[in-house]
Structure 1
């Protein structure tokens, strides 16, 4: 299959790929700072596992990305609104909010549907939060990711604009994966996703589970009830509720799929097998219910 020049141009101009040397430089600076301050932000094996996941993600992402962008161009040609949103400033501004809204639901889906969590969990598998963790992306999530953005070309947005905005969002999200930045002024914390908000997102504490899914903005979490503030009285514990014992890249990337299919095989009813795909992680046909919302309700009831 011959790849159209328009898609090749987008792939070659990908902002996140071009920014990779900058990301690596920032990692070096942060790790040196942590070492001088005797902060346990980095662990050697964990960091190299993150880099391995990054490489694996890049390989798996290539075909879905090409197919996704090709679909965007095809849908754009079919759109009755083609040409409405040229590259004026207000079109970019409108696209910024729409893209961030789509990202919120994509990211929330990654946490609330187990089939998608299986592809996203690798990003949360590290028990450390640093700029290396930012590059430990969800591997399997790449297969379905671009489908969430397909409605945007149908709305009349140029696919090139859509892909650029997706890249800008990912570029922004790199810097919030750090413990080096404390809370920012209240107006910024209220509107934007910040390091404080994203530390909560990477927490395994019951209070913080499955919160703060926003990309650039945190307003969607506030609107849809998934916001949690970082509290000084409850320090964040990074990682999963049941952490991996392995630093093997393939285990990090694909273990949850194996566990999900094992659970499905145990269920006798087809309705229960389906629930293992579409319910949130922690649901079991045998009980008890260990989904994040259930655990949080139990915690709140016990402290009331």
Structure 2
């Protein structure tokens, strides 16, 4: 394990310098992406995540090693080509972790932290969960099962996390077309952080955007549809404790208060955010359909017309 360094710690100075550069650029370009209290909340959430990471990483490593030592089907050597394999395998695992975190409330309860800011900047990338590290690693358990060394897995997960830092910015509009076609970019990820019905639950990519295009969750950022950051129902607080646990509290309230069947109580943990047992709730897919139906009239922008046709066919 000593051969696989904790590169997240080495990246912290880079994070700090990048935020200072972003503040300089956005101020010069009159892009109002920072708000002091919000940024402090995000940084606090990030520091809490790093602190808790000392405990969660121990749990994750123990779980990975247990599977690797007792159940692995093959032994994949630590050589150059296996790092290429782990790159794609980890990114595939991340896509499904990220997508399920939007489609299952149990996982959304921890992931919602990252979407709770109504601003979009590099500090938002640091707004990380305090609870997810204890259970979301299950999406990666198949990697030690097929024979990847746990150290390799942790290293690649860290590389993915570091890559995703720079895409949380409005200082970069679009990357070259070939790059936008293959990789996750600021433009793609701005869509992911949008609360616009059109943008909800789109672009779950880690490093490669190809998975979203393959599995039908890709959405291009449209000039005519400016991204509105945050949640459908914003929590409106800068308190890190509330940010970390407010959705957990609300989920348990929905599940265990009032008169409901045992099945419906359990479904509050399994169904997507917005689901209600009495049918009064609206899912992101419902909001998206309503938006598309309301925007099916002829548009002045051909690009938007083409998109709506493509979106309704998904």
Q: For 1:139-218, what aligned pairs fall within 5 Å after superposition?
A: 139-218=130-209
Mapped partners of 2:250, 2:130: distance in 1: 16
Which residue number corresponds to residue 49 of structure 1?
Answer: 41
Matched pairs, number: 295
Where does 1:1-304 land on structure 2 (aligned, <5 Å)? 6=1, 9=2, 13-83=5-75, 85-264=76-255, 265-304=257-296
Cα distance in 1 between the residues matched to 2:74 and 2:181: 35
Q: Is the 8 Å Cα contact of residues 192 and 204 (structure 2) preserved in structure 1?
A: yes
CA distance in 1, matches of 2:242, 2:72: 45
- CA displacement, residues 59-108 of structure 1 (integer Å, 9 cap, x when unaligned): 3332221011122122222245453x212222111111111000000111
SS in 1 for 2:135: helix
TM-score by length of 2: 0.90
- RMSD of the TM alignment (CA)? 1.6
> Aligned partners of 1:206, 1:267: CA distance in 2, in Å?
31
Deviations 1:243-289 (A, max 9, x none): 12210000111101111111112351111111110111011113323
The residue number in structure 1 matching 2:300 is none
Q: Secondary structure at the match of 1:19?
A: helix
Which whole-Å CA distance do the structure 2 matches of 1:81 and 1:18 have between them?
A: 34
Matches of 1:148 and 1:41 in 2, distance apart?
33
In 2: Cα distance, 1:44 partner to 1:277 partner: 34
Q: Which deviates more, 169-178 or 86-95? A: 86-95
Provide the TM-score with structure 1 as the length reference: 0.93
Q: Distance in 2 between matches of 1:133 and 1:10?
A: 31
Q: Is the 8 A contact 2:72 2:144 kept in 1?
A: no
| C-alpha deviation, 1:30, in angstroms | 0.7
C-alpha deviation, 1:201, in angstroms: 0.4
Q: Which runs of 5+ in 2 are unaligned?
A: 297-314
What CA distance in whole angstroms lies between the structure 1 residues aligned with 2:35 and 2:193? 17
